[in-house]
Amino acid sequence: MKHLLSLAIVLLFINNGFSQENTSNNYGKIGVSYSSFGNNPVVFFQTLDGAPSYNSNHFYTLSLDYSFSIMNNLEIETSFDYSEQTVTVVPNVSPNINMNSHNQTFTILSIPVGVKYSFMKFVFINGGAFISYDNHNKYEVDNQSGIGLYGGLGLEYTFNMGLSVFINPYLKAHSLIPFDTQGTQAHLMESGFKMGVKYKL
């Protein structure tokens, strides 16, 4: 959790620095969003004998979003995310052992920091890194606390009143740099759609 607090403090200093340099009253945009409607398998990047497999089940993420412009068509974006993930654990056991597949649910808190580039008026691409805190201690799915990467492509429309609506298909790779691992790390690979609204401050 201390990693999340440290990153939030750094973001405040960064935003303050850009605001002092920008004389156009750029206070950024704040909003809320919801993410789901995709896949969330947990994978190993190498083959492990005897390891279970983890199939995609379902997930959702609620976010408080903030972004601010640093130049034409380019923004810094961040958010505070609460995510609930459910995956199906498929044990790798002999056929004569009675162990059925079952679901495992855990929650993740994340702070992503990235850039967003807009073009063709309504289209944007975005990407960056995120730091996550996963408080689950169940042994069937590796803890996902660590640093990951994300990227996406989306559409955003801004009304004259300053309200924006957007949809953002994305990919996330969790815990590429894990904070705590006992050896080979399994990674949550999330793909979905992020939808939300923002308001210009």
The tens digit of pLDDT for each residue in 129-141 reads 999 998 876 667 8
Q: Which of 135, 79, 130, 149 is nearest to 106 (CA)?
A: 135
Q: Does the domain at residues 2-200 carry the CATH identifier 2.40.160.20?
A: yes
Task: Taking residues 22-37, report their average pLDDT.
Answer: 81
Task: Taking residues 142-155, report their average pLDDT.
Answer: 94
Residues 45-101: tens digit of each pLDDT: 776 655 667 888 899 999 999 999 998 899 999 999 999 999 988 876 555 555 677
Give dist(CA 144, CA 114) in Å, integer. 20
Query: Is residue 2 scored above 70 in pLDDT?
Result: no
pLDDT of 1 reads 53
Query: Is residue 171 scored above 90 in pLDDT?
Result: yes
- Round the average pLDDT of the chain to a whole number and report it: 83
pLDDT of 101 reads 78
Strand runs labelled E in the chain: 29-39, 42-44, 53-71, 74-90, 102-119, 123-134, 146-158, 163-178, 186-200
Residues 90-115: tens digit of each pLDDT: 876 555 555 677 888 899 999 999 99
**Whole-model pTM above 0.85?**
no
Show me where the domains of the chain are located. 2-200
- pLDDT band, very low/low/confident/very high, at 156 (cuts 50, 70, 90): very high
pLDDT of 43 reads 86
Percent share of the chain, pLDDT over 70: 77
CB 178 within 8 Å of CB 141: no
Give dist(CA 111, CA 8) in Å, integer. 8
Residue with tokens 């750029």: 26
pLDDT of 48 reads 60
